Amino acid sequence: MAETIKIVGHKNPDNDSIAAAVSYAYLKNALEAKKDAPEANYVACCLGPLPQESATILERTGLPTPELISSVAAGEKVILVDHNELTQAVDGLEEAEVVEVIDHHRISGNVTTGNPILYMNVPVGSTATIVSGLYELFGVEITPAIAEVLLSAIMTDTVITKSPTCTGCDLAQADKLGAIIGKKATDFGLEVFQMRGGDNDLSVEELCTHDSKEFKKGDATYLVAQHETVTLDTAMEREQAYREFLAAQVAEKGYEFALLLVTDIFNEGSRFICEGDVSRVSEAFGIDATKAEWVPGILSRKKQVIPPLS
Ligand code: MN
Ligand code: MN
């Protein structure tokens, strides 16, 4: 009997975590189907509600929605995509068996395994880029539906190729996937961002949490959330409400600080809204982090914000 292996991205899933899980499960199952006796059944999972753009793309391509899970059982086999930090991973992971990691983040070193595993971490702009390359490597055809899913995630993770995390590999895979769906990659990227709707369609809590991640430095834990917008002024109208929400998070969870980056993808920069002990943020960026200062050029949390903070 084929055993079930869950493929899961990080908590607070973004489009890349969803796309990587869906498309990697599709690839792994296609490889199993070529065997005389399939050994495994790969199931894409997610740890929270789908981002709007993921839901829209999965619905229109007819691909299955990932299974919503909150924990994994002891001994269960799990593949991590788009993360490798325990704080961002499914509950129960310490007791489960990680059988692969496909990622593009810094190595946390806090997910360990008993056996040698496939651990693929490539410093490119999205996990979808890596998965797209793996289709080539394993000789599995990318269907138009999978191409939409993968390309949408390359576009959201690289902010339509503008992010400093975007590499030549991302551009090459994006061009290839664009050709499969018959669209220019960046035109499709704009379409994907438009699926997200306006800033005011989100509640304060949604805006502050839809892309937030915890990080550790020594004994301290801090939170960095990001909201990407094309209408910065509208997004900043509720600054005071975001501050109250972030301050409550600091009080409740004991964070050193909670930082919300409101990132303007067209004007290419971010406003830093920070509550808690903001001194390390002020020092790292040479700003007064008690004010929502505009920091030009900051688009990537991973490449431009976390390294100076850690
Ligand atoms: Mn992600
Ligand atoms: Mn990613």
pLDDT at 20 over 90: yes
Asked if 272 and 264 count as a contact pair (C-beta separation under 8 A), the reply is no
Phi first, then psi: give them for residue 287, nearest 5 degrees. -130, 170
Alpha carbon distance 154, 174 (integer Å): 7
CA of 38 to the centre of ligand 1 (A): 30
pLDDT in tens, 109-153: 889 999 999 999 999 999 999 999 999 999 999 999 999 999 999
Q: Are 84 and 215 in contact (CB under 8 A)?
A: no
Q: How much distance in Å is there from the Cα of 225 to the middle of ligand 2?
A: 14
CA of 60 to the centre of ligand 1 (A): 22
Pick the ligand that lies closest to the CA of residue 127: 2
Q: How far is ligand 1, taken at its centre, from the CA of residue 82, in Å?
A: 5
Cα(156) to centroid of ligand 1, in Å? 10
Give the model's pLDDT for residue 129: 98
By CB atoms closer than 10 A (0-12, 13-18, 19+), residue 23 is buried
State the ligand closest to the CA atom of 125: 2
Separation of 165 CA from ligand 2 center, angstroms? 10
User: Above pLDDT 90, what percent of the chain?
Assistant: 92
Distance 25 CA to ligand 2 centre (A): 16
- Beta carbons of 289 and 275 less than 8 angstroms apart: no
Q: How far is the CA of 102 from the centre of ligand 2 (A)?
A: 10
Answer yes or no: are the C-beta atoms of 187 and 219 closer than 8 Å: no
Give residue 154's pLDDT band: very low, low, confident or very high (50, 70, 90): very high
Cβ atoms < 10 Å from Cβ of 5: 20
DSSP3 helix / strand / coil % (the chain, rounded to 5): 40, 20, 35
Q: Residue 198 has what pLDDT?
A: 84
Q: How far separated are the first and last CA of the chain, in Å rounded?
A: 46
- Report how far ligand 1's centroid is from the alpha carbon of 129 (Å): 12
What pLDDT does 85 receive? 93
206-259 pLDDT, tens digit each: 999 989 999 999 999 999 999 999 889 999 999 999 999 999 999 999 999 999
The stretch 56-78 carries a mean pLDDT of: 97
Say if residues 12 and 213 touch (Cβ distance below 8 Å). Answer: yes
How far is ligand 2, taken at its centre, from the CA of residue 309, in Å? 19
- Ligand 1 ion local residues (Cβ < 5 A): 14, 16-17, 82
Task: Say whether pLDDT at 274 is over 90.
Answer: yes
User: Residues of the chain with pLDDT > 70: what percent?
Assistant: 100
Q: Say how many Å lie between the CA of residue 181 and the centre of ligand 1.
A: 24
What per-residue confidence (pLDDT) applies to 197?
A: 80
pLDDT of residue 48: 96
Average pLDDT, the chain: 96
